[in-house]
């Protein structure tokens, strides 16, 4: 059964809670883990600069080390989950993340911070890759994309609530309050690790004779699709970084609009992500959803671009309108990405394949900031229109690429998630 069946969403949740026990466990673990993350994200940079005394560039460098480690570990971790048992490997990585969540607060040199954040990233990103494979194994029967949409709504809600707690620590602005945030994050990650032991045992895939260890690296159709969907996520960097810089440098709107628009985006995703991800749980539908999403995103960029022309209130109105249009495209496009990434991956290798798919987002997060800064700030209004065209172009290229990738599965009889 595919997501086109109207009973799929009814079977997914009842009163906002997953009906399936295993999906409830996954959602609970996600909420606990991301609540702690939201609190740490809100406070960590200010703690290390204001309380410990690191320079901003030293903190940024340490975080970059963690990002690089996370990129390297994703695919091997996913493969390990496929071959050693997804639940057991997920518990291992989550336990490591719980153990190393609090120690960064003790760092008193930039190199110590980089080392601790690198170790933490190893476990956190490893857990993230394996978790994607677990989701693909458990959210079957046309529920894969909708459950990912549900988890994204859960994630946004948890990070938002965690950020409120982090904000309280910022108000207190004392060492003990910041340390408490790190310790709380460790405790919640520990709960998420324990929670993962409640999941059912999932069979491990034994690598056949002559089968490559990391088959995804030789699966060129999937590599191309992952590159395209990774590039498509550039719009997240645009709205998180480019929009903030554009508001402060090129518009008459107050800088507080950055926070206002973030809240609007978070609320919209929490409320409507599942609804806007319907009918995307197949390769063909996912590619079409990516194109529809790109058109909304492009329209949102075009509206935001006009904010540089208006007065104080005109800029505010245009920014809100552009952000609302963009978030519709964000939600539709996210469903399309998940449909492609899940639908083209062999069912027994979902861990390494979803880990590789996540690599595209990680690479974009590294190369995106300078690109976005150039277009959104240095080029100004023209740059926003250029980015709008880029988003549509990426999505349009995905259509023939998806047909090619799907044909390669049918030619060789590969059993995929949606098969």
- Name all domains of the chain by residue range, CATH numbers in brackets: 20-196 (1.20.1250.20), 216-412 (1.20.1250.20)
Helices and strands: H and E segment counts in the chain: 15, 2
Q: What are phi and psi of 17, to 5 degrees?
A: -115, 130
Question: Could you identify the residue written with the tokens 């703690």?
Answer: 47
Region of residue 173 (phi > 0: left; psi between -120 and 50: alpha; otherwise: beta): left
Q: How far is CA 212 from CA 74, 85, 167, in A?
A: 17, 18, 48
Angstrom CA distances, 355 to 70, 129, 199, 246, 410, stand at 10, 5, 20, 33, 23
Tens of each residue's pLDDT in the chain, 419 residues: 344 444 455 578 788 889 899 999 999 999 999 999 988 888 888 888 889 988 878 887 888 888 888 888 988 998 888 888 899 999 999 999 999 999 999 999 999 999 999 999 999 999 998 998 899 889 877 788 889 999 999 998 898 888 888 888 888 889 999 999 999 999 999 999 999 999 999 887 766 665 666 778 889 999 999 999 999 999 998 988 888 889 888 899 988 888 788 888 888 998 899 889 887 878 999 999 999 999 999 999 999 999 999 899 999 999 999 999 999 999 999 999 999 998 898 877 888 888 888 888 888 877 888 888 899 988 989 999 999 999 999 999 999 999 999 998 865 445 555 44
Strand 13-14 relative to strand 17-18, pairing: antiparallel
CA–CA gap between residue 304 and residue 295 (Å, rounded): 14
CB of 255 closer than 8 Å to CB of 247: yes
pLDDT at 2: 40
pLDDT, position 183: 96
The pLDDT of residue 212 is 65
- Going from the C-alpha of 216 to that of each of 237, 309, 340, 417, the distances in angstroms are 26, 47, 15, 15
Nearest to 330 by CA among 281, 289, 293, 292: 293
CA-to-CA distance for 344 and 199, rounded, in angstroms? Answer: 25
pTM: 0.81
CA distance 350 to 193: 21
- In eight-state DSSP terms, residue 216 is G
For residue 17, list its beta bridge partners: 14
- Residues 166, 181 contacting (CB under 8 angstroms): yes
* Measured CA distances, 195 to 91, 99, 192, 286, 355 (Å): 9, 15, 5, 31, 21
Which pLDDT does position 62 carry in this prediction? 86
Phi, psi of 131 (to 5 degrees): -60, -35
- Give dist(CA 100, CA 69) in Å, integer: 14
Residues with Cβ < 8 Å from 260, sequence gap 6 or more?
Answer: 320
What's residue 4's pLDDT?
A: 41
Per-residue DSSP letter, 47:
I
What are phi and psi for residue 178, nearest 5 degrees? -65, -45
CA separation for the pair 163, 356 (Å, rounded): 29
Token readout for 22 is: 């295993």
As a whole number of Å, the CA-based R_g of the chain is 21
């Amino acid at each position: 059964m595919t997501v086109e069946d109207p009973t799929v969403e009814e079977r997914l949740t009842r009163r906002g809670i997953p009906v399936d026990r295993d999906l409830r466990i996954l959602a609970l673990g996600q909420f606990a883990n991301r609540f702690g993350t939201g609190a740490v994200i809100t406070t960590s940079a200010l703690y290390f600069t204001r309380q410990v005394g690191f320079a901003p560039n030293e903190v940024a460098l340490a975080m970059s080390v963690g990002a690089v480690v996370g990129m390297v570990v994703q695919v091997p971790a996913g493969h390990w989950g496929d071959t050693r048992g997804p639940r057991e490997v997920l518990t291992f990585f989550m336990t490591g993340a719980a153990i190393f969540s609090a120690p960064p607060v003790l760092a008193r040199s930039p190199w110590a911070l980089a080392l601790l954040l690198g170790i933490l990233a190893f476990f956190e990103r490893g857990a993230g890759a394996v978790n994607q494979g677990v989701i693909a194994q458990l959210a079957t029967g046309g529920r894969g994309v909708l459950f990912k949409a549900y988890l994204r709504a859960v994630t946004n809600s948890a990070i938002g609530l965690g950020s409120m707690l982090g904000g309280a620590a910022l108000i207190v602005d004392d060492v003990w309050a910041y340390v408490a945030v790190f310790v709380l994050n460790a405790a919640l990650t520990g709960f998420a690790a324990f929670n993962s032991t409640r999941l059912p045992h999932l069979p491990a895939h034994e690598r056949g004779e002559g089968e490559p260890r990391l088959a995804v690296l030789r699966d060129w159709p999937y590599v191309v699709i992952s590159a395209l969907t990774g590039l498509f996520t550039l719009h997240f960097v645009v709205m998180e970084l480019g929009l903030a810089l554009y508001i402060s440098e090129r518009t008459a709107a107050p800088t507080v609009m950055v926070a206002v628009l973030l809240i609007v985006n978070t609320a919209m995703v929490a409320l409507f992500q599942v609804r806007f991800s319907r009918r995307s749980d197949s390769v063909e539908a996912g590619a079409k959803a990516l194109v529809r999403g790109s058109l909304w995103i492009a329209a949102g960029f075009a509206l935001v671009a006009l904010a540089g022309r208006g007065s104080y209130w005109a800029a505010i109105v245009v920014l809100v309108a552009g952000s609302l249009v963009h978030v519709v495209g964000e939600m539709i496009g996210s469903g399309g990405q998940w449909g492609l990434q899940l639908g083209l991956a062999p069912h027994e290798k979902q861990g390494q394949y979803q880990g590789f798919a996540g690599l595209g987002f990680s690479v974009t997060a590294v190369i995106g900031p300078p690109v976005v800064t150039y277009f959104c700030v240095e080029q100004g209004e023209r740059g926003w229109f250029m980015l709008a065209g880029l988003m549509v172009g990426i999505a349009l290229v995905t259509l023939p690429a998806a047909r090619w990738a799907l044909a390669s599965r049918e030619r060789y009889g590969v059993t995929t998630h949606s098969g």
